[in-house]
Amino acid sequence: MTDDPRIHSALDALRDLQPQERKFVFKTIKAERYAAEDKKKEQAQMLPNSHWSKAHLLEKIRDPTNEGYEQRIFIPEFTFLGVGNQPDFGTIHLTFYPGEWTIELKSLKIYKDAYRNELASYERLANVIFEDIMAVYTPKRVRLVMRLRPRGGISSVITIDSDWAVRGGGEQFSDWKKSAERGEFLGGDEEPHEGIDSASSHQV
């Protein structure tokens, strides 16, 4: 039991109220709390992506070759607090064509775990992660696919590709033009089963 006199004073005041009056007090406090949360969400929507950036956690490794290659990274569990202030879960696929630098995977694990308690939409976080990777590694290309686990019977996927003209790319690759999003909904390529996994693939 607390020794705070304010708590004891509030309890005494509540005891003096009739049941309906106490019910009104608790209902008012609850409504005020929800209103404060809504205001906080509204204010957050006006903040720039840099507010959520955790780019300082990402470390880089110098690319050991000048030859082109593709690195695919799968994150099977990405957790954050959605705008409803409830935990949301998703997966992230990264397709990465390194320039001078490539991704140090241990730092990527620390980076993705740092969003566990962040209150933001997954649309926002997909863009933040994409921008952080572009800023830290300046790759020749990166494609990010974030797949949110179903909630309320609805699943959703966000895809961002630096090759798209709308993202400032030169549209020099053609793989994303072949209805790739359908494959991403259905599961796409076979996924690793544990942890962050990467694999070098074909030359580009």
In DSSP notation, 180-198 reads: HHHHHHHT-SPPPSSSSEE
The whole-number pLDDT of residue 44 equals 66
The whole-number pLDDT of residue 149 equals 87
Q: Are residues 88 and 151 in the same domain?
A: yes
Which residue matches tokens 């694999």?
199
Across the chain, mean pLDDT equals 84
Distance from C-alpha of 100 to C-alpha of 65, rounded to nearest angstrom: 9
Q: Are residues 104 and 158 in the same domain?
A: yes
Distance from C-alpha of 38 to C-alpha of 136, rounded to nearest angstrom: 33
Tens digit of each residue's pLDDT (9 = 90 or more) over 118-154:
888 889 999 999 999 999 999 999 999 999 988 788 8
Distance from C-alpha of 32 to C-alpha of 38, rounded to nearest angstrom: 10
CATH number at residue 167: 3.30.1130.10
The whole-number pLDDT of residue 105 equals 97
pLDDT bin (cut points 50, 70, 90) of residue 188 is: very low
Range of the domain at 107: 49-200
Q: Are residues 32 and 65 in the same domain?
A: no
In this predicted structure, the answer to whether residue 53 has a pLDDT above a threshold of 90 is yes
Q: Are residues 153 and 189 in the same domain?
A: yes
Which of 155, 149, 150, 145 has its CA nearest to residue 189? 145
Q: Are residues 18 and 57 in the same domain?
A: no
Integer-rounded Cα radius of gyration of the chain: 23
